[in-house]
């Protein structure tokens, strides 16, 4: 239960204010997918309430995407901004890591965040029927599972440590395997072959992004973990909307 509370504390704005040891933090990553499902459930309930209030589709989409960002404290979007500022340009590995550490946001970071949010809103607007609820539930869940995949596939590159370094489990292969297996089972349960297709696309996107991070940085940082989560969410929302088109 302590490790679950750590995951909830790290990934959401739920006010869990309690110090935990390193061992508990390392175990917390295995709860990331569960936290993703809880966030997805919150989106589904909010969408049902907005539908009952006859909220216009565009406004409803903006509110849902805003809630998704706000409930995670903007943590992953901050990672998108920092990753874009550091990697989108012909900079050295050391310079890219230095830029990603900087709290200031540059033009590429702002553009990346705007594009991610805009594409998410566009995807949600097009969602209808039962697939709307399934996509809203699956999107944050997929993003948190892809974080486990990145933890297993890449090494942490900051020698001085960082926010994500305390969550690296002792057996990273087990972490990645669990993330993939849980993602496959839940996606099959929610959407059958279509669900597996969506998750397969998300995995391919995560693999490509991980290879790029390995090439540019030599591994992952907390910012790239946030970015892969946002890419997974965006893919599921857009892919489901495309499936329904």
pLDDT (tens digit per residue) in 80-122: 999 999 888 777 888 888 888 887 888 899 999 999 999 999 9
Check if the beta carbon of residue 142 is closer than 8 Å to that of residue 234: no
Q: Which residues contact 200 (CB under 8 A, 6 or more apart)?
A: none
| Burial call 117-154: b when 16+ CB within 10 Å, e when fewer | bebbbbbbbbbeeebbbbbbbbbbbbbbbbbbbbbbbb
Q: Which residues contact 112 (CB under 8 A, 6 or more apart)?
A: 80, 81, 83, 84, 88
Confidence of residue 179 (pLDDT cuts 50, 70, 90): confident
Q: Which residues contact 169 (CB under 8 A, 6 or more apart)?
A: 26, 27, 29, 30, 151, 175
Residues 245, 243: Cα–Cα separation, whole Å: 6
pLDDT of residue 101: 85
pLDDT at 68 exceeding the cut of 70? yes
Longest Cα–Cα distance of the chain, Å, equals 52
Q: Which residues contact 134 (CB under 8 A, 6 or more apart)?
A: 190, 191, 195, 240
pLDDT of residue 16: 76
39 dihedral zone (left: phi>0; alpha: psi -120 to 50; beta) = alpha
Count the helix, strand and coil residues of the chain and give each as a percent rounded to the nearest 5: 80, 0, 20
Residues 219, 72: Cα–Cα separation, whole Å: 24
Residue numbers of the domain that contains 21: 2-244
- Please tell me the total count of domains within the chain: 1
Q: Angle between the 129-153 and 107-126 helix axes, to the nearest 10 degrees?
A: 140
pLDDT at 243 exceeding the cut of 90? no
pLDDT at 22 exceeding the cut of 70? no
3-state DSSP call for residue 220?
strand
pLDDT for 199-223, tens place per residue? Answer: 899 999 999 999 999 988 888 888 9
Question: In a 10 Å sphere around its CB, with 0-12 CB exposed, 13-18 middle and 19+ buried, how is residue 61 labelled?
Answer: buried
Check if the beta carbon of residue 195 is closer than 8 Å to that of residue 188: yes
Which of 2 and 76 is assigned the larger pLDDT? 76
Mean pLDDT of the 11-30 span: 76
pLDDT at 20 exceeding the cut of 80? no
For residue 74 the two structure tokens come to: 């903007």
Dihedral through CA 82, CA 80, CA 49, CA 9, nearest 10?
-60
Q: Give the CA angle between residues 29, 161, 91 to the nearest 5°.
A: 110
Q: What is the residue-averaged pLDDT of the chain?
A: 87
Mean pLDDT of the 59-70 span: 96
DSSP state, residue 232: H
């Amino acid at each position: 239960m302590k490790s679950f509370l750590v995951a909830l504390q790290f990934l959401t704005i739920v006010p869990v204010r309690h110090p935990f040891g390193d061992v508990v933090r390392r175990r917390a990553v295995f709860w990331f997918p569960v936290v993703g499902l809880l966030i997805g459930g919150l989106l589904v309930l909010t969408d049902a309430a907005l539908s009952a209030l006859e909220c216009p589709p565009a406004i409803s989409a903006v509110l849902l995407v805003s809630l998704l960002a706000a409930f995670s404290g903007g943590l992953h979007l901050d990672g998108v901004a920092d990753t874009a500022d550091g990697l989108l340009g012909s900079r050295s590995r050391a310079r890219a890591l230095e830029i990603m550490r900087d709290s200031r946001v540059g033009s590429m970071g702002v553009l990346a965040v705007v594009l991610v949010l805009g594409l998410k809103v566009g995807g949600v607007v097009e969602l209808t029927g039962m697939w709307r609820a399934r996509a809203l539930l699956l999107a944050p869940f997929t993003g948190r599972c892809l974080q486990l995949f990145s933890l297993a596939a890449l090494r942490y590159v900051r020698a001085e440590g960082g926010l994500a370094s305390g969550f690296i489990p002792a057996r990273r292969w087990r972490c990645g395997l669990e993330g993939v297996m849980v993602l496959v089972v839940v996606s099959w349960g929610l959407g059958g072959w279509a669900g597996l297709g969506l998750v397969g696309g998300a995995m391919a996107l995560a693999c490509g992004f991980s290879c790029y991070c390995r090439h540019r940085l030599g591994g992952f940082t907390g910012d790239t973990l946030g970015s892969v989560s946002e890419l997974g969410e965006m893919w599921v929302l857009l892919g489901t909307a495309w499936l329904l088109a």
